[in-house]
């Protein structure tokens, strides 16, 4: 089966990391996010993936120059300008000439969803599109979905005002689509599958949904990205890369340290992600924060409470940063 994987967004909620690296090329417990997403698709029989690219497409082409990644063949569909989710799917599907049932995957979702069961549900349901749902505590930052008892979607509301969601089941970002869906997505303009295409299909009774209790995370925010890293590291026992240099008089706990990173004498790193080639100075403290690739933390600095240093950024000795981004966002 073929799949379109959406990886063209700007990743604004993960800036400054995404100023230099597109979201799906950021590491998750030592492996680029996209490789984890594609390996899961491959495990359910996907052999060909069309990457729906927009922002920084070269990062993918450079990383996988022979057009293979995690056991699947890749095609690169680079949209000429941002087309939003449905526009990106349609551009990629037309680019690859998809004429049969295909999968779509949001590229920042890490899950062990049974995709094979979703495809079987889609065939039984007989709609033109079937989507996977997952329960969450606060649905307001997602696409919220209500269904009847046979799985026909009766409402799809993208990012409802807090307290107004029709259910706590949300769009989990994995879809089975019939090619007819493309007829609902016009030409060359940006179209949102969540705000336009799905609501239109709901009004025609053609959209179905299957809830799942599989592990699921959208790793697209600072909190969820850091959490996804640390929980996968725990499960896979991947913490400190063998090529990292940790001083014997440093304390590193519950943290990921990438290849070539240096943690100096007296430093303390807790529940943090220190990417490849970064340097943590003497007696510096890093807690619940992310140090980007090649970034440098000066001696004695304290970086905590969801602070982020972008790739290659240096902060001076003795600095105290709580919940801060480096470089600071331009407002």
Which residues of this protein are in contact with ligand GDD, per CB under 6 A? 6-9, 23, 52, 54, 79, 82-85, 88, 106-109, 142-143, 158, 170-171, 173, 194, 218, 220
Radius of gyration of the chain (CA): 21
CA-angle at 10, arms to 2 and 14, nearest 5°: 110
Q: Are strands 325-326 and 308-309 parallel, antiparallel or unpaired?
A: parallel
Name the minimum Å distance from CB 296 to ligand GDD: 29
Distance CA 118, CA 129 (A): 11
Give whichever of 109 and 263 is closer to ligand GDD, judged by the CB atom.
Answer: 109
Distance between CA atoms of 75 and 97, rounded to whole angstroms? Answer: 11
Q: Using CB atoms within 10 Å of the CB of residue 49, give its burial: 0 to 12 exposed, 13 to 18 middle, 19+ buried.
A: buried
> Minimum distance between the CB of residue 175 and ligand GDD, rounded to whole angstroms?
9
Minimum Å gap between C-beta 142 and Mg ion is 9
Residue 84 binds Mg ion, judged by CB under 5 A: no
> Binding residues for Mg ion, how many (CB under 5 A)?
3
CB of 119 to ligand GDD, least distance (A): 19
Binding mask 146-165 for Mg ion (x = CB under 5 A): --------------------
294 binds, among Mg ion, ligand GDD, none (CB under 5 to 8 A by kind): none
Q: Which does 303 bind (CB under 5 to 8 A by kind): ligand GDD, Mg ion, none?
A: none
288: left (phi over 0), alpha (psi -120 to 50) or beta: left
Q: Return the number of the residue (59 or 286) whose C-beta is nearest Mg ion.
A: 59
Instruction: Give Cα separations from 293 to 85, 134, 193, 277 (angstroms).
Output: 29, 33, 34, 6
Give least dist CB 220 to ligand GDD, A: 4
């Amino acid at each position: 089966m073929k799949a379109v994987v959406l990886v063209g967004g700007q990743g604004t909620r993960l800036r400054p990391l995404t100023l230099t690296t597109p979201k799906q090329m950021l590491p998750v417990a030592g492996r680029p996010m996209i490789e984890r997403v594609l390996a899961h698709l491959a495990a359910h029989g996907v052999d060909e993936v069309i990457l729906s690219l927009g922002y920084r497409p070269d990062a993918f082409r450079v990383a996988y120059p022979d057009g293979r990644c995690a056991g699947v063949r890749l095609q690169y569909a680079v949209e000429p300008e941002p087309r939003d989710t449905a526009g990106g799917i349609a551009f990629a599907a037309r680019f690859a000439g998809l004429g049969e049932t295909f999968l779509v995957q949001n590229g920042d979702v890490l899950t062990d969803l049974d995709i094979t069961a979703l495809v079987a549900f889609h065939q039984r349901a007989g709609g033109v599109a079937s989507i996977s749902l997952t329960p969450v505590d606060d649905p307001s930052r997602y696409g919220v979905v209500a269904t009847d008892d046979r799985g026909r979607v009766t409402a799809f509301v993208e990012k409802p005002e807090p307290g107004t969601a029709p259910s706590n089941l949300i769009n989990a970002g994995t879809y089975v689509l019939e090619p007819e869906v493309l007829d609902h997505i016009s030409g060359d303009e940006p179209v949102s599958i969540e705000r336009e295409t799905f609501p239109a299909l709901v009004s025609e009774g053609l959209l179905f949904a299957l809830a799942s209790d599989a592990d699921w995370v959208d790793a697209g925010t600072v909190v969820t990205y850091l959490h996804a890293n640390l929980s996968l590291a725990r499960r896979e026992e991947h913490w400190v890369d063998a090529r990292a240099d940790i001083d014997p008089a440093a304390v590193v706990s519950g943290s990921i340290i990438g290849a070539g990173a240096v943690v100096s004498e007296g430093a303390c790193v807790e529940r943090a992600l220190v990417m490849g080639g970064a340097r943590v100075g003497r007696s510096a403290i890093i807690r619940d924060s992310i140090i980007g690739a090649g970034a440098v933390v000066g001696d004695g600095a304290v970086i905590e409470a969801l602070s982020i240093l972008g790739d290659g950024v240096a902060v001076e000795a003795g600095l105290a940063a709580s919940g801060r981004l480096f470089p600071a966002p331009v407002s």
